[in-house]
Amino acid sequence: MAKRIDVKDVNIYYGKFRAVDDVTLHVPPKQVTAFIGPSGCGKSTMLRTLNRMHEVVPGARVEGQVLLDGENIYASSVDPVQVRRTVGMVFQSPNPFPTMSIRDNVVAGLKLAGTRNKKQLDEIAEQALRGANLWNEVKDRLSKPGGGLSGGQQQRLCIARAIAVQPDVLLMDEPCSALDPISTLAIEDLISELKKDYTIVIVTHNMQQAARVSDETGFFNVPGVGEPGRLVEFNDTEKIFSNPDEQATEDYISGRFG
């Protein structure tokens, strides 16, 4: 069941350093929302506040509200573990568990949550691996370690792992930065497929990718070193890429940046 996300007046800090300044945006359900912007502008930071992963960093904190279908995930009564079960995440660099086989990596979320039924887990593993377009490559070595895959395969393994727990929202931080063009296209197809059921937020440095897969796009920018990143523009992807409201967005997209 896909959910909508409303970010209201959010400031994000690492200790005293304010990394993201006063962001308000609305991520619609069953759509793909892309965050673009130069390196260091706070895209990853913004993304990680959407499932309370930000606070895992020592000293990191968030001000403001993030509403998941109207419920503030930063309310004091909310359990961050439950939030992360609902809002899954794929990281910038692949991070399979080195102690687990390929199959166990995929079903790690379910197994650690207590699912024991082997047959059910096998089915879910296959489904998730097919979903991540990895099944054919690994079906004969499911019991081999996940660390023995290539970088791109590892990333798809991580995507499989994230969708195996069937979250409502899927956050992806540059999921294709380690992938070849064919796997990238496969992931993009996968994203379009997943969007039927999930709300997806993706960070990407690849303009074409943002244009291809996303429905909404947010452009972040950082005015200078040591200053917080800001959301410059949030709009329909089509509008952002054809006729953005802000000059800065147009400069960035057309490569006249810096």
Partner 1 sequence: MTTDTLQSAERASPFQHLSGVRKAKNYLASVLVTCSFLIALIPLGWLLVTVVTKGYRALVSERWFTHSLSGVMPEQFAGGIYHALYGSIAQGVMCAIIAIPLGVFTGIYLAEYGRGWLARSVTFMVDILSGVPSIVAALFIFALWISVFGFPKSAFAVSLALVLLMLPIVIRSTEEMLRLVPDQLREASYALGVPQWKTIVKVVLPTAYSGMVTGMMLAMARVLGETAPVLVLVGYSRSINYNVFDGNMASLPLTIMNELLNPEPAGVARMWGAALTLILLVMIFNLMAAVLSRFSAVKSS
Residue 71, Ramachandran bin (φ over 0: left; ψ between -120 and 50: alpha; else beta): beta
Binding mask 29-48 for Mg ion (x = CB under 5 A): ---------------x----
Q: What is the dihedral of CA 205, 211, 214, 215, to 10 degrees?
A: 140
CA neighbours within 13 Å on the CB side: how many for 123? Answer: 6
Whether residue 56 contacts residue 62, with contact meaning beta carbons closer than 8 Å, is answered with no
Nearest CA-CA partner of 177 in 146, 215, 206, 201: 206
CB of 33 to Mg ion, least distance (A): 16
By CB under 5 A, how many residues form the interface with Mg ion?
1
Q: Which residues bind ligand ATP (CB under 6 A)?
A: 14, 17, 19, 37, 39-45, 57, 229
- Measured from the CB atom, the residue of 93 and 117 that comes closer to partner 1 is 93
122-128 long-range contacts, CB within 8 A, separation 24+: 124/164, 125/160, 125/164, 127/164, 128/160, 128/161, 128/163, 128/164
Q: Which does 95 bind (CB under 5 to 8 A by kind): partner 1, ligand ATP, Mg ion, none?
A: partner 1
By CB under 5 A, is residue 209 in contact with Mg ion?
no
Pick one of partner 1, Mg ion, ligand ATP, none as the site partner of residue 131 (Cβ within 5 to 8 A by kind): none
Residue 228 is classified by DSSP as: P
Which CB sits closer to partner 1, 150 or 235? 150
Q: In the bound complex, which residue of the shown chain has the CB atom lying closest to Mg ion?
A: 44
Nearest distance from residue 202's CB to partner 1, in Å?
A: 15
Q: Is 204 in the site for Mg ion (CB under 5 A)?
A: no
Q: How many CB atoms lie within 10 A of CB 115?
A: 14
Taking the least distance from each CB to partner 1, the nearer of 42 and 244 is 42
| CB closer to partner 1, 38 vs 148 | 148
Complete edge-to-edge strand list for the sheet that includes strand 71-72: 71-72, 60-68, 5-14, 17-27, 229-236, 216-221, 32-36, 199-203, 169-173, 87-90
Chain positions contacting partner 1, by CB under 8 A: 51, 53, 56, 58, 81-82, 84-86, 88-89, 91, 93, 95-101, 108-109, 112-113, 144-145, 147-148, 158, 161-162, 165
What's the rounded Cα separation, in Å, for the pair 152 and 155?
A: 5
Closest approach, Cβ 59 to ligand ATP, in A, equals 8
DSSP 101: B
Of residues 20 and 108, the one with the C-beta less far from partner 1: 108
* Distance of alpha carbon 62 from alpha carbon 132, whole angstroms: 32
Which one of partner 1, ligand ATP, Mg ion, none is in contact with 1 (Cβ closer than 5 to 8 A by kind)?
Answer: none
Q: Taking CB under 5 A as the criterion, which residues in 64-123 touch Mg ion?
A: none
Taking the complex as a whole, how short is the minimal distance between the CB of residue 97 and Mg ion, in angstroms?
22
